[in-house]
Structure 1
Amino acid sequence: MTTITATLNNKKKKAPLKGMMDNVMEQFNSAADHIGLHPNIRKILSITNNEIVVHFPVKMDNGEVEIFTGYRVQHNNALGPYKGGLRYHPTVDIDAARALAMWMTWKSSLAGLPYGGGKGGIKLDPSKYSQGELERITRRFTFALADNIGPEHDIPAPDVNTNSQTMAWIADTYMSTRPPAERTANQHVVTGKPDGSGGLEGRDRATGYGVFLNIKFWAERNHESLNNKKFIVQGFGNVGYWAAHFLEKEGAKLVAVQDAFGSIKNIHGIKVEDLFNYTKANNGSVAGFPEALDLDNEKFFGIECDICIPAALGNQITKQNASKIKARLIAEGANGPTNVEGEKVLLEKGITIIPDILCNSGGVVGSYFEWLQNRNGELWQLDEVMVKLDKKMKESFDKVYEYSEKEGMDLRTAAYCIAIKRIEKAYLQRGIFP
C-alpha cells in the first residue's frame, strides 16, 4: 500500500487552518439557510448519530504488541444504511471522521442512493507495517467494530491507503463471526472487494471515471472539447490515475503531478501509462520520473493549465495558495480538498469548482452497484457497469448544474441544497420518533 501524506504547499508558518468539520458545517449551514431548512431537521443533521472509537492490541512480526486506535462515525441513516470508506492514515481522528461521514450523507443523497453517511479508519502510517501486520490490524479492527457494521446497517469501502485486499480481509473476518447459515448472505458487508471475492468489475476505476465524466459534462455544457486541454493532478493513486487515464483518451494533456513524495512537470505532456508503470516500480512515487522535471511543491498549484484535479487529501487548496491557481476548473477528486476560505478566493477569480459530493461520487455509485450485485446474487459485466455509471453521473450533474443556473449560485451550494432537501423530505414524511 502506498502512503499518502498531507502535502505542505506553504513552508512558512501561517495561521492555523480550520478543521474539516468547520468547513463542512459552514457549507451545510450556507445551503440550509438558502433552502430554509426546517429548524428541527437542521438540529438533527448538525450532529452525528453514533461515534465509535476502539482501542485494540495487535501482535507485530517481532512479537511485540502495539495498540491502535480506530474510528467509525455514523452521521445519518434517514435514507438507508450508513455508507463510507475506511482510511489508514496518521491524520485520522474523530474530527476528520465526523466531517467525512457528513460529506458521505450529502454525497449519497445527491446521487439518489438508498444510503446514509459514515466514515472512519485507523490512525497509522501503513508504510511502516508489513503486509502480514496490516492484515492482522485490519482483522482485529473489524472484530473490534463487531455489530457496529453490517450489510443492512453500515457498509465500509476503500479510502486513502486501503484497497480491495483490505476489504476482502474485512469481509472474511466479519462473515467468520456470523452463524454458519448467515455467512454467505453477508458478503455485501463491504464494497470495493476484489473481483474474485464478490467485487464489481470496474469498481477500481469508478471514482476516477466519475471525476472524468463530470469534467466531460462541464466541457459539453460550455460547448468545449477536452482535446488539448492541459490538466494537473494532485495525488496519483486510484482516483488521480483513472481520471488522468480517461482524460488522456479524450486528447487532454497531463502536464504536472504532485504526490506525497514530490512534484513533477512537463509542459509538453506526461504519458499517463508511462508514469503509472514508473510509480509501480518506484514504491508508488512520481518523484524522479525521467520524462518530467522535478518541481517545487509550493509551485504546483501555480502551473499553467485548464483543469486542476485535487485527488489526495482535504484542506489542500487554501486562502494562501488559491490565488496562485490558473486553472479555469477545479474538479474535486478528493473529499474536502478546498477549504471555505480557499473557495471564496477561487469563486472571486471566476473559477468553477465541481464539488466533491458530486465530482467523486462515482465511487459510492459503484459501491451501490456492487452491493446490489451481491444482494441479488448477480454478476454484472464491465460494459454494463460503465453504462449504468455514466447514466447515473449524468443525471446528478445535470440536476446540480441546472439548479445552480436557476438559483444563481455556485455548484457546491446547489449540490448541498439538492442533497439536504431529499433528506428533509424523508423526515417530514416519516415524522420523528416518538
Structure 2
Amino acid sequence: MYNDAEIFELERDRIFARSWVFLAHESEIPSPGDYVVRRIVDDSFIVSRGEDGQVRVMFNMCLHRGMQVCRAEIGNASHFRCPYHGWSYKNDGSLIGLPFHADAYGGEKGFPKKGKTLLPAPSVDSYRGLVFASLDENAPPLRDYLGDFAYYLDFYANQSPAGIELRGPQRWRIKANWKIGAENFCGDSYHTPQTHTSVVEVGLFGEPKASKRKEGALYFAGRGGGTTYKLPRDLSFEEGMRYVGYPDEMIETTRTTWSSEHRDLIGKDGFMVSAATLFPNLSFVHNWPQINGDGLVRPFISLRQWQPVSESETEVLSWFAVDAGAPESYKEESYKAYLMCFGSSGMFEQDDVENWVSITSTAKGTMGHRLRLNSRMGLTLDGDLVSQEPASFSGPGTAYVGYGEHNQRQWLSIWSDYLEHGGHALHGEPTGTAARGGH
C-alpha cells in the first residue's frame, strides 16, 4: 500500500476525486485580484479573489486548446491571458478576449463569448477561512464532511475573532508515499521517544522527556484525528496556555473565543492539542519549543499538505499559521519556533522524512508485498484495550490515553472504504475492518 502504482491510481480516482481537499486560506488572497495556484493531484486550480471580493476556484485550463492559463504560483491580476493563443479571462473566470475574433471565428456570430468561463471546481466551500474543493459535484456539505473534527480544527484556526493568517507555503519534494505523513500526524505518538530523542536532548523541545507522549490522549472524530500532550497537574486554563508559551493578551482572547468545552479540554482535563490529520491529506501541528538560550518557550501552528506526485513521491506544502490579531513580536517568535521545528530544514522534519523515505523504498520490493504490517498497537490478541479511555475528555469522538494505533486504524479504515466504495458508503463512522482492530 505504500509503493504500488495500481493502488495509487485507485486513490486518484476514488479518494482525491471524491474527498474535500484543502487548497488555500483566504488570508493568502486578501485583496481583489490576488490569486494562488494549487492542485488536487494532477488538476491545477486558480484560487482567485475577484473584483467583487468573492473567492473562486477555477480549473487552470484554457477553453481553447487546453493550455494552462496561469503559469505563476502566486500574484495579483485583473485578467489571465493564455500564453498559447492569447485567449483572455477576467479574474472571475469569464472569457472576454479572443485575438482575431472576427477573422478566426466570424465574431460573436461564430463564437459568442458571453457565458463562457473557466471551468469552476465542482464543489467549493470554506471553514474558518480554509478553502476546500471537491471534484465531486455531489459531495456532502463541507461541515458534514468535517463532522466533530471541526471542534479540534478550532484550536488551530479560531484563537480569536480575527482568525488565522498564513505565511508560505514552503514547498519541497520527498521520495515517500503521501499516506505515511498523514498517518504519522494523525496519531503516532509512539515514534517520538525514538525518532526525536536528539531534539529533546539538545533542549529544543519544551517538554523535558520524549516519553511523556504516552501520557497524552489520542482522539478521533469525524474524518480526522490527532494527538495531545498531558500538561502538568492541576493547571487552570490560563496556566496551561501560559505553560506552552502563550502571552497573557492572547490567553484572554482565546478564553473568550473558545467554547467552554475547548477551555475544559485544557484547564479541566489537562490535555493540549498537538498534531492532527484531516482525511485525506491535510495535517496540523501545534508545538512549543524553546527558541533562545534564556529558555523562552513559544508555540507555533503549522498546516501541511501531503500532495501526491506518484506512489513513491510526495510534494510537501508547509504553511506557518498564526492568529491574525496576535502581537507582532509574538508572530516573529512563533515563526522562529516553526522554522526550527517544521520548516523545510527543521529538526523534527529531518528526523521524520528519513523514516518515511526508507519505508517507501523498502515497500517497493517483492518481499514488501508479502509482509502484513502489524497495526494492532493498543489492543491485546483478544481485542481488549491496552490503552485506556481518559478519566475526563471534553472533546467529541473517541479518545484513549497511552500508546496505540487506534487513530491509524480509523484513518486507514476511511481510506479503505473510499477505495472500495468511492466514499459513497461513508455515513458517519468508517465501516472497514481496520476500525475494529483488523490488519
What is the TM-score with the length of structure 1 in the denominator? 0.26
Larger Rg: 2
Identify the structure with the greater helix proportion.
1
What is the TM-score with the length of structure 2 in the denominator? 0.25
Identify the structure with the greater strand proportion.
2
